[in-house]
Copies of this chain bind each other. A is one copy, B any other.
Amino acid sequence: MKLKIKQSKLMEHLNYVIKGVSTKNLIPILNCIKMDLTSDGLYLMSTDNEIAIKTFIPRQEIEEIVETGSIVVSGKYIYEIIRKMPNNLVNLEEVVDSKLYIYNDNSSFNLNCNNVNDFPDLNLDVSKNPICIDRRIFKNIINQTSFAASTQESRPVLTGINFKIENDVMECVATDSYRLSKKTIKLNCNVENLINIIIPTKNLNELVKLINDNEEDIEMHIFNNKVIFKFDNIIMMTTLINGTYPDTAKLIPTEFMLEVSLNLNELYTALDRASLLTNQDDKNTINLETFDDKIKISSNIPEIGNVEENIIVKKNNKENIKISFSSKYMMDALKAFTADDVIICFNGEVKPIIIKSSDNQDLIELILPIRTY
């Protein structure tokens, strides 16, 4: 393998594949990046066995391809070396004793390489009928749901986001069993068979970081045990989580005792202040009480002091409620909305609280109240 390439171009693609390089894996080959130089261009690949990332630099974006070939080299070292090279041309060449020689006029590095055959043989072939989704919508789905997924490995299915696709409707749900986020979108295509899969949340969060903003769709290729996402010249594969996702449809009420609509930012900043006087050990419990035209949010830490926040609201009837919940969970839920106003729906002090936007019903956030007496 021997080529000459702009440092900035190689860096752009190393920035993608480095996210697939394992940082704490004890298997050295999983800390590596594989480079495949063909007459078409340069493929870069990384995997930690749960995800794989592959990018492609076409030959016209490479200054000179002298000799094709493959090498496998430490991801961390090649990434840092290229990052610190000047923004200019850089040469990469496989030399005797399976070393990678990286050089320009003033700098030269020799990096020991691993055996190319030891690198996992990944099948990253895509399917013929991907589901195509606007990339901004796709990023929104992940950002508006992922925070509600569980981080506890005790129930593995809850550490993922459930994607359910029926005809042209895709429902994405995340829950840690104390709160739930559900986003529904309409696809441009119809799927033939019902799809119901669980994708690891942490892999989706990594994926979102890889997706640049542009107009093009992201392709979702669904297989039995994996999903492949394809966009620009990048392929990202993630394994799926085995198991059955809980049926969450019946948990979400559609009729309410009381609906309160109010300004999102006013509510968020009031919760942010009031949560200063809550305890993390105590789940950041905060109290909310409704009155005719306002709500009162209050909390206290006896040794420190107390706080009371008042917000003007509109109610859909004369009912009132006193309820307690985690201010952190409520703030996480509110961050998922972009509308000016939100509607908070109650069915009683021990029943789930639902948060919706006043604009549309695509996104539903649910949090369970906390019994305080």
Contacts and interface: CB of A to CB of B under 8 A. Distances in A.
A110 B269 contact: no
A107 interface: yes
Given A74-B304, A106-B311, A304-B74, A273 B84 contact: yes
A112 B106 CA distance: 64
Interface string A282-319: 00000000000000000000011111111100000000
Contacts of A111: 304-305
Contacts of A100: 305
29 contacts: A74-B304, A77-B277, A77-B304, A80-B276, A81-B273, A81-B276, A85-B273, A86-B269, A99-B305, A100-B305, A106-B270, A106-B309, A106-B310, A106-B311, A107-B270, A107-B273, A107-B308, A107-B310, A108-B307, A109-B273, A109-B277, A109-B307, A110-B305, A110-B306, A111-B304, A111-B305, A112-B303, A112-B304, A112-B305
Interface of A: 74, 77, 80-81, 84-86, 99-100, 106-112, 269-270, 272-273, 276-277, 303-311
A109 B305 contact: yes
A88 B15 CA distance: 44
A306 B107 contact: no
A110 B109 CA distance: 63
A102 B7 CA distance: 56
B84 A276 contact: yes
B106 A305 contact: no
A258 B329 CA distance: 66
A270 B306 CA distance: 57
A303 to B, nearest CB: 7
Given A84-B269, A86-B269, A307 B107 contact: yes
Contacts of A311: 106
Contacts of A273: 81, 84-85, 107, 109
A276 to B, nearest CB: 5
Nearest to A100: B305
Contacts of A305: 77, 99-100, 109-112
Contacts of A277: 77, 109
A246 to B, nearest CB: 37
Contacts of A74: 304
A80 B277 CA distance: 10
A246 B194 CA distance: 79
A85 B108 CA distance: 55
A95 to B, nearest CB: 11
A55 to B, nearest CB: 23
A106 B310 CA distance: 5
